[in-house]
Structures are given as structure tokens and as C-alpha cells.
Amino acid sequence: MSNLRRFFALFLALATVFSFAAIATAEPAEELAYLNGQLRVGMECAYAPSNWQESAASDTNVPVENVPGAYAEGYDVQIARIIADYLGLELVIVKMDWDGLIEALNQGQIDAIIAGMADTAARREAINFSDPYHSTVYGMMVNAGSPFENATSIQDFSGASVLGQRDTMLDTVIDQIEGVNHLTAVASVPDMIARLNQGACDAITVNMESVPVYLAANPDFVAISFEEGQGFELGFTGSCVGLRKSDDALLALVNEALATVDQETRDAMWDTAVNTQPN
């Protein structure tokens, strides 16, 4: 899709959101003075449709501070724009490896994680989380013709070699499968997809809302969803903004910003990200 067509699609999805932005503060709140007028947000820029990297500027993407000539786009980017606008801060995107995001936040290299991160119990010990800004359901993906393609329960994958993403629930939930061959996790979802394509695993865990794009790029894959009680138990509902434990005022304001975005608008933004992400 051309940049122009993509802009108009995203503009329609965001029109309602930015009507709410009129109530945003013209200047940063006094308690946020320590941020020096910026909201520095960390993300992978490699987790479409939540976030990805582009090589050309558009009306909707944001420059990546630490990668010259690169721009961040996706659902997380638009959520970050809404929050930064509400706070009256300049949005700065910093590209980072997934497993370094929490440490970078606590060391002050970034001010927030907006990267499709779920508020798991283990992560809550290290950082605070906002209210959820996107819900998720997990499923599996296999190659067409796989002996597992007609599975109806995660337990049907007993004995299968299953792969997930390192330091995410996409990896840890695999242990809910009895008798599974839990493979050593890889760094990113594109790595997982490549391994499945190569036949290096029987299945990978996936966020089901991202499946249409995965299948468009990999028509020989089969996605498997599960009825309630037959799938993974997640213990969380979806993606949240990660913040330092000390940033109570920022947390309250981030939740205020998220509360301005109704579910219909969030769904439209997500659909736009799914339809415009790179294949």
C-alpha cells in the first residue's frame, strides 16, 4: 500500500482519537518536568502489527532515534503518539532488543515501554504497568500437512517440538503442554516464523490477532485456535505500558490518556496496523 493510501486509512482510524486530544495539556504537567519535554519510548520495531521499522518518512510514522534513516510504525507507535500528545511531550522512539527493555527503563535510558508487553507477575516485580491498551489470545501455527494441523487442544501437541519468543509469554506458556519438546526460544517473532518455514520446529505460539498477516506472507502455514478451556492460560489480558516503579504521577496520566480512546477506535487502529504492516 502506498504511503498516501496508508495515511488516509490511518487518518480515519485516528480521527476520533485526536478529537479527544483537544483536552491534552498544552504544556507538560509540572510533575513531569524531569522528562525534559520528551517521552522516550522503547520498542523492538520488529513486532508487526504492534510495531515495525520503515525506511521512509510518512505522516504517521516516527523517526527512530538510534537508527539513522529509520522510522517506527504500527499500533504501539500510534498509542505512544496519543499518550505523548496528551502529556504535551515530544515522542521519541528508541529501538531496543526485547530482553533489554526493562533494564533500559529502570536505568533511565527510556521513560516507557510500549511494545506489546503484557503485565505478567514476574514483570510486575520489576516495573509498573498501565491499564491494558490491547487484548490478546494465544494460539499455534504449523505448516500445512503437519500431523498437528487438526489439533483442538494444546495437549494435542504432546511430543511436538514447539518454539516461542525469548523472555515472553509466547515461550513460557509452552510448558502448559504435557510432554512437549520445548525448544530453546529465539529472539523475535520473525525468527520463529523463519524456523517454522525451515521445518526446524513443529509449531510456534502466536498472538491470534496477528495471524492474518502471518498467513498472508506464509500461505503454507495453518493457524490453530482453541475453544475456551482447551487453550493456553495466560494470566493477563493484553498489552500494557511499562513504567518505572517510581513514576506514579506518569502512570496516572498515562491511564488518563488511554481512557480517552474507546474500544471502537482501538479496534479501528489495530485493523489499520494489520492492513498496512509490511508482509
Is the pTM here over 0.85, yes or no?
no
DSSP conformational letter for 165: B
Closest of 140, 29, 47, 38 to residue 101, by C-alpha: 47
Q: Where are the domains of the chain?
A: 3-134+237-276, 137-224
Other beta carbons within 10 angstroms of residue 209's beta carbon come to: 19
**Spans of the chain, pLDDT less than 70:** 1-28
Quick: pLDDT tens for 15-56: 544 444 444 444 667 889 999 999 999 999 998 889 999 999
Residues 165/188, Cβ–Cβ less than 8 Å: yes
Give residue-wise pLDDT tens across range 137-147.
Answer: 999 999 999 99
* CATH code for the structural domain at 3-134+237-276: 3.40.190.10
Question: Does the domain formed by 137-224 have CATH 1.10.3720.10?
Answer: no
